[in-house]
Amino acid sequence: MAQDITEALNRIFSTDSEIYRGRGFMHRLGFGERPALLNIDLANAWTRPGSPFVCDEMDVIIPSVQRLLGAARSKGIPVIYTTTAYGVVDGPHTDMGVWHHKIPALAELKLGTDAVAIDERVAPEPGEQVIVKKRASAFHGTYLSSFLCAHGVDTLIVTGVTMAGCTRHTVEDAIAEGFRPIVVRECVGDRVPGVVDWNLFDIDAKFGDVEPLDTVLDYLKNVASFAERPTGAVQASVTTGGSL
């Protein structure tokens, strides 16, 4: 981004931050005790050249996500991926809803193609969820919320693209559902100048904490290993159906 535009944005952020802080916004959520790691749309259409969806800064994002994956896996923390893909790309039966009227390029994201497969450099391991979503948010029309809720997750570490689209909507939904979203600064991107910065600014003001990779790695180093949620000491009656 040109130097003058960066400076203009920083001037706005500085003014706006002062107003927000004076009014009781922009505090820290902080981390909880049971995190999960969510990687949004790190599939080939977004991570590799040649598609209308490709994003910038992959030479920073990919290695940063690799480090996070290593840290999360060493603690047994749930790792979830999303991709966006469609089975029917035209007519009154399409699973694109009405979204393709806004973004006709969505029709290129066909289920089962290499474009929508997760990039091998950050490939999922067995036992990790890959959720196919139809909309921007990783929560919308998916089992993500009930997956996290069932396992007592309280903190959602978020990476991926795009910042102005899927990543932002996911963060908004995450805090709405009751999870603490932590956006990892080096692990998010987009495809047009400026939008990463202003969307991170909005999120940090209202919806989630934006943190540098090192802070998140520190947290993961110190957090307890993830284990199955305990069952209460007092148990239910053992005779199945006896209460009937």
Site for a copy of itself in 37-76 (CB under 8 A): 52-53, 76
Could you tell me which stretch among 39-47, 63-71, 112-120, 207-215 binds a copy of itself (CB under 8 A)? 207-215
How far, in Å, CA of 166 to CA of 188, rounded? Answer: 11
The residues near 201 (Cβ < 8 Å, ≥ 6 apart) are 13, 16
Instruction: DSSP for 151-202, please give it.
Output: TT--EEEEEEE-IIIIIHHHHHHHHHHT-EEEEEEEEEE-SSTTHHHHHHHH
How far, in Å, CA of 145 to CA of 169, rounded? Answer: 14
- Chosen residue from 12, 74, 113, 121 binding a copy of itself by CB under 8 A: 12
Angle at which helices 195-206 and 3-23 pack, to 10 degrees? Answer: 10
Closest CA to 140 of 102, 169, 110: 169
The Cβ of residue 207 has, within 10 Å, a number of other Cβ atoms equal to: 19
Could you tell me which stretch among 10-18, 40-48, 64-72, 114-122 binds a copy of itself (CB under 8 A)? 10-18
Within residues 95-134, the interface with a copy of itself by CB under 8 A covers 95, 97-99, 101-105, 127-130, 133-134
**Binding track over 149-168 against a copy of itself, x by CB under 8 A:** xxxx-xx--------xx--x
| Between 120 and 234, CB nearer to a copy of itself | 234
Could you tell me which stretch among 42-50, 64-72, 113-121, 170-178 binds a copy of itself (CB under 8 A)? 170-178
Active site residues: 166
Does 193 sit near a copy of itself (CB under 8 A)?
yes
Q: Provide the minimum distance between the beta carbon of 182 and a copy of itself in the complex, in angstroms, as a whole number.
A: 7
